[in-house]
Amino acid sequence: MLSVIVLASGNSKRFKGNKLLYEIDDKPMYLHTVEKLINLKKKCKYIGEIIFVTKYQKIIDDLKNRDIKVIENKNSEFGISQSIKLGVSNSNNDCYMFTVCDQPYIREDTIENFIEGFIKSGKNLGCVSSDGLLLNPTIFTKKYKDDLMRLEGDKGGKKIILKNLEDLFVFEVCDHYELIDIDYKEQLED
């Protein structure tokens, strides 16, 4: 079983306020990812729980009646590593899939196929890729838990992945549009 850990910082210098609350198709950006994950948890036997880590009270309040464990990051100024550590330390599983909320176009079946491919691979690390670029989501087994807990600042798990490429399952996503990480409003218009 794995814990899906959603890292929701929402930081962007190109949006006023929290970009995760920006509406796409009449709902906040973060909710696109959340709804796909909730649906997927109902049918994917490998997902044990969804953990959502954020500093935003509005999102915490919005998610309190959903099948999600919500963790408030009171120290987000320490970077993404703080959210990763909170997610891992609040997990009930030995495998962690990290994803973000600013990829609203990723498809549910892409996530499901990535998880299933990872499980079948027997590897301890997994990453989606488009055109050779390693992107989110990523998966780590307990073999790398200590490495995750030692991360500092804005250094995420890619540092661990790049040191252990021989233990990496790569899932190629043909439609790079799915993996676009929305950092500014103009991306939504393209």
**DSSP designation for 10:** -
pLDDT of residue 190 exceeding 60, the answer is: no
Instruction: Please tell me the predicted confidence (pLDDT) of residue 185.
Output: 46
pLDDT of residue 43 exceeding 90, the answer is: yes
For residues 106 and 137, what is the distance between their CA atoms, to the nearest angstrom? 10
pLDDT band at 23 (very low <50, low <70, confident <90, very high): confident
Task: Report percent pLDDT > 70 for the chain.
Answer: 92
Residues 6 or more apart from 120 whose CB is under 8 A from it? none
Average pLDDT over residues 158-179: 94
For residues 161 and 123, what is the distance between their CA atoms, to the nearest angstrom? 12
> What's the CA dihedral at 180, 160, 170, 3 to 10 degrees?
-80
- Phi, psi at residue 131, to the nearest 5°? 55, 40
Residues 6 or more apart from 19 whose CB is under 8 A from it? 10, 11, 12, 29, 102, 182, 183
Mean pLDDT of the chain: 90
Strands (E), the chain: 2-8, 23-24, 27-28, 47-54, 69-72, 95-100, 125-130, 133-141, 168-172
Helical (H) or strand (E) element with 80: helix 80-89
Residue 3, Cβ neighbours under 10 Å: how many? 21
Instruction: Please tell me the predicted confidence (pLDDT) of residue 186.
Output: 46
Instruction: Please tell me the predicted confidence (pLDDT) of residue 24.
Output: 87
Q: ∠ CA(81), CA(111), CA(59), 5° rounding?
A: 55
pLDDT tens digit sequence for 80-126:
899 999 999 999 999 999 999 889 999 999 999 999 999 999 999 99
Q: Which 3 state secondary structure label does DSSP give 33?
A: helix
pLDDT of residue 188 exceeding 70, the answer is: no
CA 1 to chain centroid: 16
